[in-house]
Amino acid sequence: MTATYYLQNELSQVKSAINEQRPKVSTSRTLLLYDNVGPHKARATTQSLRELGIQILAHPAFSLDLAPCDFWLLTILKDRLAGQKFDGIQDLAEAVNSELRTIPEEDYQGVFCKWQIRLKDCIESHGEYFKAL
C-alpha cells in the first residue's frame, strides 16, 4: 500500500466512521494510533490528518507487540484464511472484510483492554523490551 492509495481509499473510510460514531465532535479531538509503516508516516498522510484535526499518537519503533493488529488480529485472519486461494486483491479484500465482520464486538473491546495493559507495561519498562503476557 502506498500513501496515495491510503489517502484515496482508506482515510475517507476512517473519517466516515469517526463522523458516524461521534457526529457532534466529528474528527476534531480525535487521537489515532498508527504504526510506523511508510503510508502512515508519509507527509501527505500526516498533513491530511492534521487538516482533519486528527492527532497521531506516536508508536514506539520496533514495537509490534503494541499494535493490536499485530498481536491479535493478524493471527486470527491468518488462521481463518489459511489454505485459501484468491484470484486477485479484490477477492482477498472481500474475504478479509467478511472475516472481520464475524468477529464479535466483545472480542474487539477485549483486545483494547489487553492493549492498555501492554501500553502500561511499555511505559513502566521505559520503552525497553518486555515480555507481553
pTM, 2 dp: 0.55
Residue 120's contacts (CB-CB under 8 Å, 6 or more residues apart) are: none
CB 18 within 8 A of CB 27: yes
For the chain, which residues make up each domain, given as ranges? 3-57, 64-124
Nearest to 33 by CA among 124, 130, 92, 111: 111
CA atoms of 105 and 97, how far apart (whole Å): 15
The H-or-E segment that residue 32 falls in is strand 30-33
Residue 97's contacts (CB-CB under 8 Å, 6 or more residues apart) are: none
- The pLDDT profile of the chain, 133 residues, written as one tens digit per residue, is 788 888 888 888 888 888 888 888 777 778 887 777 788 888 998 898 888 888 887 776 666 677 788 788 989 999 999 999 999 999 999 999 999 999 999 999 999 888 888 888 877 877 676 666 6
